[in-house]
């Protein structure tokens, strides 16, 4: 029982990081869509790579619409 309580306390300590990471993924999806790229793909990439994906989506060129 004590181990389970300790695990729950550990999850509560890490929840702000998870919220921030998820928010960053949503921001990256919006940035990608503004550059005519797939928001869903960039959301999923951002969940894995976080700030690295942010850097990349900022420096890539927008896709031109034909």
Residue 64's alpha-carbon distances to 4, 18, 34, 35, in angstroms, are 53, 34, 11, 9
Q: Is the pLDDT of residue 54 over 90?
A: yes
pTM over 0.85, yes/no: no
Structural domain containing residue 27: 20-66
**Any domain includes 14:** no
**Any domain includes 36:** yes
Average pLDDT of the segment spanning 32-52:
95
pLDDT interval class at 47 (50, 70, 90): very high
Report the number of distinct structural domains present in the chain: 1
**Any domain includes 58:** yes
Average pLDDT of the segment spanning 23-46:
95
């Amino acid at each position: 029982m004590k181990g389970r309580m300790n695990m729950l306390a550990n999850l509560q300590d890490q929840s702000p990081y998870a919220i921030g990471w998820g928010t960053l993924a949503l921001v990256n999806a919006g940035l990608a869509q503004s550059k005519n790229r797939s928001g869903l793909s960039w959301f999923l990439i951002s969940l894995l790579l976080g700030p690295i994906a942010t850097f990349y989506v900022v420096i890539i060129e927008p896709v031109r619409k034909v």
